[in-house]
Structure 1
Amino acid sequence: MENPFTLTFGQKPTEFISRTNQIGKIIHTFDMENPSNKVYMVAGVRGSGKTVSLAEIADHYSSNDQWIVLRLSADTDLIAGAVSELTRVSQFHDLDLGLNLNLGIAELSVNKTNDSLEKEAMLRNILEKLKNKGKKVLFIIDEIINNSYVKVFASNFQIYITQNYPVYLVMAGLFDNISNLQNEKSLTFLYRAPKIFLEPLSIPAITTSYRSVFDISPSEAVEMAKLTKGYPFAFQILGYLKWETNDDLEKLLPKFDEELIIYAYEKIWSELSELDRKIVYVISTGVYKTGEIREKLSISPQLLNTYRKRLMERGVVNGSVRGELTLALPRFEEYIEMYCEVEI
């Protein structure tokens, strides 16, 4: 039997824990006769399961003949990609949309600005024909960034909604990238789009998963689950290593730390601002009270509150206990102590 866990970002593993409540909210809304929202933004720290969550949504609708699911890349021409994919899917499902296939669909991805109106018109034409055939189209875009392709697509998507096309959109990315996009003055409708912050996985759910896969005691499963702090990537790493070696937890820690650092923590740390790092560093030394953190860094309550909110939204710190901040990522303290130099 193959290892049911994976170390590969974005790959849907055999053993994973579904975010039923959060994913179900999107599906429930889209399934309404008159949906209250047609756009959702999914935000989370690296390794929080954004891509797997999108895959769950895509799988749900791909099994429904009424829906067409398009997975597009944010760093390519999204309008051209949508035209090309819808044309391909329509041919595959033998949907006669009356399209002129001599328009050079494959060339759209390399055409310049002069052809943008033609591409947008072609996509609207396809969507109109799909609407008449009772089809719905779900666009899924992962690793969203604020670039020209995304801004052009989002502007057009707003038009599709006003024209009552049966279109739906789910975009996922890091919190900062989503915020940058939502703050674009020309894309105010995105600012109103609901954001779903991917929460840590349930420790009891992780415990149950480990017990079902491994022949271990309840106490060992709980110990393993608590070590992950509900961080999905840590859940996968620990499960993967346990499957490969069947060592006890203490022996797994060095490799566990190494995988976290190489594939997640180095990048997460590099994206923090100087004050972000100072706050996180102070917390890593065991200073959790917000008053003591302010005193250590000589900053005002207002400034700490601003950075507290940012770090929580990024999934780096946990502020669930009033007046306290702790690190949300497993063994992030050990990483900071060993590899990060911060002057206070």
Structure 2
Amino acid sequence: MNNRNPYTISFGKVPTKYLSRASIIDSIVEALESDIPDEQAFKLTGIRGTGKTVTLTSLERHFNDEKNWVVIGIRSDSDIISELVARLYSSVPLITKFVDANLNLSAFGIGINVSKKSPVASIDYALEILLSELNKHGKRLLVTIDEARNTKGIIDFIQEFQILIRKDLPIYTILAGLYEDIESLENTKGLTFFLRATKFEMTPLNITYIRDDYQKTLGITFEEAEKMAYITKGYAFAYQTLGKYMWDSKGKTVTDEVLRQFDDVLAQKVYYKIWSVLAPKDRWFLKFIAQKDSMTATDLLEITKKSHSEWSVPRKRLMEKGVIDTRLRGVIMLRLPRFKEFIDAQIEF
């Protein structure tokens, strides 16, 4: 093994060792690089630590390497349209020259004052003109927004985006955000277009890939690597965390100390936040669900003495937050690795 730990627990940072979301990345790249893209907006969603930011960064890097693409990452809490115009002017030479020669954007503090030209009154119109200029040069604009949530800036941007694509202008966007934040945007009045945009969920990583990576990178046995892979349940942040502390231990088996560090980091960086925003009823049901590795809905209702109608709303919320897995019909399982141990600790506390 090399001396430098290839795993990282820093959110958003692309680690030395990571398992890419190749299928998601390939699907978006193929769609956007087609001569006439059928779709111009995509959503990445999942709980914290599932690899949304890393996947978004991989897509940014891919399109940055393509000469006909301009990639601009924007904060969700900014005035996105104004920021886009300013960034296009400052970072795209052909736009800089065009604005300085032809467009008076002095009202927005952008460019030089072209005294012979009337000031552009609308920032929306300014963006439309700049996109038309990009189009003349065969270039496309990709706007990426991480940690997207329901802000005025994003709502204004999505509404303007709908107008721009109806005019066949070369603008595309990828937004990444938590389940509840993306859902809030989808349910906002007037954003029907965003609701229909293709959404990719950050599903668990392939256990086989994790096992093979652990075996090769950590120099451990197939059996130990498989054991570690199953502990992670395919959760991207857990894969990085367990790999990091196993590497640091310099051991060949998972020890109680490695698991203690693993549990502590997951609790501090992810689980406390998830737990804090759960409704009291959701937490109450989870205390029963955590009693077994898996149980049927019938078993849960029998243990809790509750009806299907009383369970249906908490079930939906826990599914949407990525806490439980109900893909196997009638069966309920905790989706997060060692979340049972976390819940047990909360009950004891």
Work out whether 1:50 is the aligned partner of 2:52.
yes
Secondary structure at the aligned position of 1:249 is classed as coil
Query: Unpaired segments of 5 or more residues in structure 1?
Result: 109-114
- In the alignment, the residues of structure 2 paired with residue 106 and residue 254 of structure 1 have an alpha-carbon distance, to the nearest angstrom, of 54
- In the alignment, the residues of structure 2 paired with residue 42 and residue 302 of structure 1 have an alpha-carbon distance, to the nearest angstrom, of 31
Structure 1 counterpart of 2:242, which letter?
Answer: L
Give the deviation of 1:337 after TM superposition.
0.4
Secondary structure at the aligned position of 2:191 is classed as helix
Give the deviation of 1:303 after TM superposition.
4.7
Work out whether 1:329 is the aligned partner of 2:340.
no
Identity percentage of aligned residues: 33
Query: In the alignment, which of 251, 259, 272 is matched to residue 278 of structure 2?
Result: 272
Give the deviation of 1:70 after TM superposition.
0.8
- In the alignment, the residues of structure 2 paired with residue 233 and residue 290 of structure 1 have an alpha-carbon distance, to the nearest angstrom, of 29
Query: In the alignment, which of 148, 164, 185 is matched to residue 160 of structure 1?
Result: 164
Query: In the alignment, which of 258, 271, 274 is matched to residue 264 of structure 2?
Result: 258
Work out whether 1:314 is the aligned partner of 2:321.
yes
Question: What is the number of residues matched between the two proteins?
Answer: 335
Equivalent position of 1:188 in the other structure: 192
Query: Unpaired segments of 5 or more residues in structure 2?
Result: 112-118
Secondary structure at the aligned position of 1:75 is classed as coil
Q: CA RMSD in A?
A: 2.3
Secondary structure at the aligned position of 1:17 is classed as coil
Q: Residue 197 of structure 1 contacts residue 313 of structure 1 at CA under 8 Å; is this kept in 2?
A: no
Alignment of structure 1 residues 217-296 onto 2, 5 Å: 217-247=221-251, 248-250=253-255, 251-286=257-292, 288-296=295-303
Work out whether 1:97 is the aligned partner of 2:95.
no
- In the alignment, the residues of structure 2 paired with residue 201 and residue 263 of structure 1 have an alpha-carbon distance, to the nearest angstrom, of 19
Q: TM-score normalized by structure 1?
A: 0.91
Structure 1 counterpart of 2:250, which letter?
Answer: N
Give the deviation of 1:98 after TM superposition.
3.4
Give the deviation of 1:63 after TM superposition.
0.4
- In the alignment, the residues of structure 2 paired with residue 68 and residue 252 of structure 1 have an alpha-carbon distance, to the nearest angstrom, of 44
Higher relative contact order (CA 8 A, sep 6+): 1
Q: TM-score normalized by structure 2?
A: 0.90
- In the alignment, the residues of structure 1 paired with residue 310 and residue 41 of structure 2 have an alpha-carbon distance, to the nearest angstrom, of 32
Residue by residue, what CA displacement relative to the aligned partner does 1:105-152 show, whole Å, maximum 9, x if unpaired?
5679xxxxxx99622222122111111111001111010110111111
Work out whether 1:139 is the aligned partner of 2:173.
no
- In the alignment, the residues of structure 2 paired with residue 313 and residue 33 of structure 1 have an alpha-carbon distance, to the nearest angstrom, of 35
- In the alignment, the residues of structure 1 paired with residue 108 and residue 308 of structure 2 have an alpha-carbon distance, to the nearest angstrom, of 56
Secondary structure at the aligned position of 2:295 is classed as coil
Higher mean C-alpha displacement, 99-108 vs 243-252:
99-108
